[in-house]
Structure formats: structure tokens, C-alpha cells
Chains A and B, each alone.
Chain A
Amino acid sequence: MRLPPYATLLGAQLEYAADGTPVMRMPFAEAVLGRPGFLQGGAISGLLEVAAIAALRHALAEEGGGRIKPINVTVDFMRGGRDHDTLAAGIITRLGNRVANVEAVAWQDDRARPIASARMNYLIERA
């Protein structure tokens, strides 16, 4: 799957979960640092966005492809992002003809203890 240049800026790499759905992994690095020892909130938000894009491109590929445009994003920050890899996955709540509703969650050691989550709405332009 092709990912946007912004994923490279974040140092995020694409992996796949056991069920074949995309998971993004972002190592802790200077380029995503905020206050000393913690990830910047925008970098976490960016990772959530890339995870949502990966989930949507993965799902759309099975339906003939299409372009996606963000409408809005709401990010909740639950825990500080520490000096560990951060994982993120997008969960598509609904993939409609025109709009997709996606949830994305980011975690470090334990998926049940997320560091941040986001709700996103995307405009879909099907191929």
C-alpha cells in the first residue's frame, strides 16, 4: 500500500495485524518529540491520521479504490507518549458512498491502555 510522504516524516512504518488490517508503528525519535521525554501531541495526531488513511485505503482497495479528504478530526489525549514505539490502528465504523467514519487508537505497550484516540470523518470520492 502507498502511504503519503507525511508518514515518512513521522518515521511511521506499515505493519499488518493477524487479521490482515494495517497497523502503523512509529519509533520514538527527535523528529516527533515534544517536551523532553514525551511525544508531541501533533505527532501522535499525525500517526492517528496516517493509521486512519491506511485503514481507509486498505478497505477502499477491496471496493475499487477512491480518494479520501479529511472533513474533521477530534483527538483525545489520554496519556503522555513515552520513549517507546507507538502503534496505531484505524477502525472503520462506517464506509459509506460519500463519507467514512473512522476511529483511530494509539498505544505503546498495551492496546487496552491507549495514549490517544481520534474520531475522524472523511469525504470519499470513489474511483
Chain B
Amino acid sequence: MTFNPAKMMDQIDLRRFGGHGGRLGIRFHARDAEWVELAMPYAEDMIGDEDSGVIASGPIIAMMDIATSLAVWNRIATFVPHATVDLRIDYLRPARPGRTVIGRAECLRVARSISFTRGIAHDGDIDDPVAHVAATFMVPSGSYPKVTP
């Protein structure tokens, strides 16, 4: 089967697939050879701090978990089931209430069974990021296909 990442990823609209990503309204935003972007519109039921209206960190982790995972598949140009081993997130500043949050993720390296990624979440200006993420994934059985650099 030939895999066309552009075709697959450009059609991602998790709202149609349901699940947690759908509940959060996460959808495809943009893609390049080196990165994948998802978008998550602001919603009041994501609020983590009632006084300020700032969304909780959980929805940003959820989006970045999906975005970094997609970045691995974008790099290897195929789909391989894998599991998140760990995800670290630094909150650089609160996301502004009302703003759509964009998550850009890139794959740093695909080893035999582990892949390494990083990502940035922002709310309009990637040079003024909301969060920085590092995530690793593991293929539970077997290995990733070899990638020719």
C-alpha cells in the first residue's frame, strides 16, 4: 500500500472520528516535510482556571501527544501503531482565552523501536509560544521501518 501522508493527514478532522481528540475539537492545520500542525479551538469546557478563563494544560498535552505521534508517521511516511512512552511539557505562558491553539510537532529521530519528537504550541504567533513539548514513542512489537535520510 502506498502511503500518501499529505492525503491522509490533510483530511484529519478528529471531530468526525469522535474519541477524546474529537471531544476537544482537534483538527488538521498544516503540514510540511519536517512538521505537522494541529489546531484546537478555544472552548469554555476546557477551562482549567475559572478566574482567568485560561484552558487547562490537559487539552494541550492531548493535542501535542497526537501531533508528535503524527510527526513520526510523517517522517517514516507510513503508519505504525506505537505508544507514548513519556511526554514532558513546559508551560511558557498561559494560552489567551478565546484563541485557537496551534500545535506544531517534528520528529527528531526514529530509532529501531523508539522515536523522539518535540513540539511547540502557540496561539497565533509561533515566536511567542505557549508551551514546549518533548515526547518519545515506542513500537510495542517489532520495529519502525528503516528510514533513508
Q: Residues of A at under 8 Å CB distance from B?
A: 2, 4-6, 8-10, 30-35, 39-43, 45-47, 49-50, 53, 67, 69-77, 80
Q: Residues of B at under 8 Å CB distance from A?
A: 18-21, 23-24, 44-51, 55-59, 61-63, 65-66, 81, 83-91, 94
Q: How far is the CA of A8 from the CA of B88 in the complex (A)?
A: 24
B88 contact set on A, CB distance < 8 A: 72-75
Task: Please determine whether B57 and A77 come into contact, CB atoms closer than 8 angstroms.
Answer: no
Q: How far is the CA of A77 from the CA of B135 in the complex (A)?
A: 11
Q: How far is the CA of A76 from the CA of B86 in the complex (A)?
A: 4
Q: Which residue of A lies closest to B64 (CB)?
A: A42
How far apart are A120's CB and chain B's nearest CB, in angstroms?
9
Task: Please determine whether B59 and A42 come into contact, CB atoms closer than 8 angstroms.
Answer: yes
B85 contact set on A, CB distance < 8 A: 76-77
Task: Please determine whether A40 and B21 come into contact, CB atoms closer than 8 angstroms.
Answer: yes
A2 contact set on B, CB distance < 8 A: 50
Most buried by B among A2, A42, A69: A42
Task: Please determine whether A70 and B59 come into contact, CB atoms closer than 8 angstroms.
Answer: no
Q: How far is the CA of A74 from the CA of B87 in the complex (A)?
A: 6
